[in-house]
Amino acid sequence: MKQILAIYGSPRRKGNTTLLLDQAVQGALDTGAQVEKIVLRDLKMSPCLEIYGCKEKGRCVIQDDFQKVYDQLLSCHGLMLASPIFFYTVSAHTKILMDRCQSLWAKKYWIDKIPYGQSKPKRKGLFISVGATRGNRLFEGTLLTLEYFFDVLDAELWKALLYRELDFEGDVLKHPEYLQEAYETGKEFAIAVNA
Ligand SMILES: Cc1cc2nc3c(=O)[nH]c(=O)nc-3n(C[C@H](O)[C@H](O)[C@H](O)COP(=O)(O)O)c2cc1C
């Protein structure tokens, strides 16, 4: 059974993306998948300090909770990531994680010298996001950020579940169809990861 990592990027414990990711995780578990959860708000993780201590070995030299996350990211076959939209991008918790993965960027492009666009995806990604407003461009910035983050992880974006007009904690509970979709998607994702 291949490992799935579920990363919770909301500062809220019972936020909308949290509830949706819980459903996706449950769907995956119901197929018999193994899922490890990471709640970013519970970790002590410095932002990237741009000192490039990673340039020799491709491993970040800041000794904090990212060290364990780094190993989990590299050993998973499926990554579920959930973040709310904050100022048209991901939450600060999520962005700190992404920036710390600059160590993987250094490994891939400086140390291993992989030509851009030539690595084969090793893992699948499911992205879940929610915003309060309903503009057409609500998720544009985030999806661009995600594309480059996933590239560094050698992950392909298997599916994105994006929901508009959800603002207050628990608003998503008024939309059982969104929760159902997240559950079913979690199931399908686990099956795809294990195929
Ligand atoms: C700091 C901050 C910035 C936000 N920026 C946006 C935004 O740019 N566009 C938007 O539609 N909603 C924005 N929101 C609303 C959140 O996306 C919304 O409340 C969402 O449901 C939060 O998801 P969560 O409960 O999973 O944390 C913002 C909220 C906060 C606290």
Q: What is the pLDDT of residues 60-117, one digit of tens each?
A: 999 999 999 999 999 999 999 999 999 999 999 999 999 999 999 999 999 999 999 8
Residue 38's DSSP bridge partners are: 7
pLDDT at 57: 95
49 pLDDT tier (thresholds 50, 70, 90): very high
Residue 37's DSSP bridge partners are: 6
Q: What spacing in Å lies between the alpha carbon of 87 and ligand 1's midpoint?
A: 7
pLDDT at 1: 81
Chain mean position to CA 141: 15
**Residue whose CA lies nearest to ligand 1 atom number 6:** 86
**86 CB within 6 A, ligand 1:** yes
pLDDT at 19: 98
Mean pLDDT along residues 120-135: 96
132 pLDDT tier (thresholds 50, 70, 90): very high
Please identify, by atom number, the ligand 1 atom nearest to the C-alpha of residue 14: 25
Q: Whole-prediction pTM value?
A: 0.98
